[in-house]
Amino acid sequence: MSKVVEVANMMADSVDVTVGDIMKKFKVSKPYAYTLMSQARKKFINRRDEALAKPKAMMARAQAVETVAVNADAINHPTHYKTGGIETIDFIEAKNLNYHLGNVVKYITRADHKGDRLENLKKAQWYLNREIENLSK
C-alpha cells in the first residue's frame, strides 16, 4: 500500500492527523509529510465524493426506472380502468361500442376511482345525450 493511501486511511480514521504524526509514522521530512497529507486529502476527498455520488446515482436510476414503470402502467393499464377484473377498453371493444357509448362506459367505470365522481357521471351523461341526439336525427 502506498504512503498516500496509508495517510488517507489515517485521515479517514481520525480527523486529528497532523503533519507530525505522518513524519513519525513514515520517518519522512516535514515538506514530504505535507506533500503526502495534501495528496491524501485529495484522494480522501475524491473517494468520499465518489462514495457519496454512488448512492445518489443509484437512487436517481432507481427513481427513473420506477417513474418509467409507473408512467407506463398509468398509460397502458391505469388502475382506475382495471377495477372489477376487466379493463374498460377490453369491455368496450368486446361490445363493439362506438365512440360516444365507449366514453359513457369509460366515465361510469372510472367515476368512483379517478377524479370527481359527479364530474365523471356528468361527462358520461353528456356522451349518452349526444348519442341519443344522433340517433334521433
DSSP string for residues in 97-132: --HHHHHHHHHHHHTTTSS-HHHHHHHHHHHHHHHH
* Cell, residue 124: 358520461
pLDDT tens figures, 34-71: 888 888 877 766 665 665 556 666 666 666 655 555 55
**For position 48, what pLDDT does the model report?**
59
**For position 12, what pLDDT does the model report?**
76
Q: Is-contact 19 30, C-beta < 8 A? A: yes
pLDDT along the chain (137 residues), means of 10: 82 80 90 85 68 62 60 69 79 92 94 90 96 95
Domain spans, the chain: 3-76, 79-136
**For position 134, what pLDDT does the model report?**
95
